[in-house]
């Protein structure tokens, strides 16, 4: 699944893996873009799988004409051993019929590389929130029992809010119970990857933002800053001014209105 850029396969043991879930507003992917661009992370390889819709394009983090023509693909891996992080960027949707297989491949790769923890950046539809979820910050987290043992009270000390479980809607009983359930509408593989990680004892946390489709750059900035409250990858308090916007974001909303139409 993983193909290294160089002849030797990099060692990821005991590093932190950060990855997005393809979800509403692409917030997780935008946040990962900010990490890669700001920290100037080098590409060390890519994931080759038929579970993602094939795509290719120019270098999204180009700094000059010399590197602008580099070919980039649907799922690429970047690493900074000095920061103890590995970043997986996913740029294409998961094929619907292969979602389970993709999760299995991901977890297999995560376990075989010995990552100390995996952090998934994601999002969920804001309009699906219930009353309790509309209070306070739009940012939430989920953590597997195995990671909770490692982190202890870190999330409480940060003042983060855990994703609330919501009551099952009438007529939509889940496994014959009326107990509140985890509900992440618009989150792609977020919930299923989290549940799989709980079952397989994988140290994993999900950081997500409630959002709507549109200009989701502010959501991405809020989410990546939220992550940095924990990891301290940037040491400047005014972080919003320090996140480096990738060159590819110039075309985030297209190339503008052609003057000729006027």
Question: Each residue of 227-253: pLDDT tens digit?
Answer: 999 999 987 545 556 899 998 898 777
pLDDT over 70 percentage in the chain: 92
Question: Each residue of 140-190: pLDDT tens digit?
Answer: 999 999 999 998 889 989 999 999 988 766 445 555 556 788 999 999 999
- Decide if pLDDT at 70 tops 90: no
Q: Does 259 map to a domain?
A: no
Write down the pLDDT at residue 157: 92
- Decide if pLDDT at 220 tops 60: yes
Cβ atoms 63, 17 nearer than 8 A: no
Euclidean distance between the first and final Cα of the chain, in Å?
A: 50
Q: Does 260 map to a domain?
A: no
CATH number at residue 74: 3.40.50.10900
| Number of compact structural domains in the chain | 1
Write down the pLDDT at residue 251: 76
Q: Does 189 map to a domain?
A: yes
Looking at the DSSP bridge assignments, the partners of residue 95 are none
- The whole-angstrom separation of Cα 61 and Cα 70 is 10
Q: Does 78 map to a domain?
A: yes
Write down the pLDDT at residue 118: 97
With cut-offs at 50, 70 and 90, classify the pLDDT of residue 1: confident
Q: Which domain holds residue 96?
A: 2-253
Write down the pLDDT at residue 174: 52
Nearest to 20 by CA among 62, 48, 52, 65: 52
Question: Each residue of 105-149: pLDDT tens digit?
Answer: 999 999 999 999 999 999 999 999 988 888 889 999 999 999 999
Q: Does 71 map to a domain?
A: yes
Q: Does 262 map to a domain?
A: no
Q: Does 216 map to a domain?
A: yes
Q: Is the pTM of this model over 0.75?
A: yes
- Decide if pLDDT at 261 tops 50: yes
Q: Does 258 map to a domain?
A: no
Angle at 190 between CA 16 and CA 231, to 5 degrees: 30
- The whole-angstrom separation of Cα 241 and Cα 38 is 11
- Give buried/exposed letters for 15-39 (b at 16+ CB in 10 A, else e): bbbbbbbbbbbbbbbbbbbbbbbbb
- The whole-angstrom separation of Cα 17 and Cα 200 is 17
Question: Each residue of 198-216: pLDDT tens digit?
Answer: 999 999 999 999 999 999 9
Write down the pLDDT at residue 228: 95
Write down the pLDDT at residue 79: 96
């Amino acid at each position: 699944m993983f193909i290294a850029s160089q002849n030797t396969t990099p060692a990821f043991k005991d590093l932190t893996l950060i990855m997005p879930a393809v979800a509403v507003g692409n917030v997780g992917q935008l946040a990962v873009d900010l990490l890669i661009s700001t920290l100037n992370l080098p590409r060390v390889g890519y994931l080759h799988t038929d579970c993602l819709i094939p795509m290719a394009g120019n270098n999204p983090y180009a700094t000059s004409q010399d590197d602008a023509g580099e070919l980039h693909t649907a799922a690429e891996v970047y690493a900074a051993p000095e920061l103890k992080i590995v970043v997986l960027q996913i740029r294409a949707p998961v094929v619907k019929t292969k979602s389970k297989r993709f999760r299995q491949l991901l977890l297999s790769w995560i376990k075989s590389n010995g990552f100390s923890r995996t952090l998934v950046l994601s999002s969920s539809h804001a309009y699906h929130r219930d009353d309790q979820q509309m209070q306070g910050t739009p940012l939430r987290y989920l953590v597997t029992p195995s990671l909770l043992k490692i982190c202890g009270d870190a999330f409480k000390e940060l003042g983060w809010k855990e994703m609330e479980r919501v009551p099952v809607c009438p007529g939509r009983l889940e496994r014959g119970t009326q107990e509140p359930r985890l509900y992440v509408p618009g989150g792609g593989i977020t919930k299923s990857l989290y549940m799989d990680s709980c079952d397989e004892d994988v140290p994993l946390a999900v950081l997500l933002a409630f959002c709507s489709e549109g200009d989701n750059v502010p959501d991405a900035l809020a989410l990546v800053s939220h992550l940095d409250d924990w990891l301290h990858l940037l040491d400047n308090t005014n972080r919003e001014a320090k996140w480096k916007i990738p060159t590819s974001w110039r075309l985030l909303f297209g190339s503008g209105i052609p003057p000729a139409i006027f």
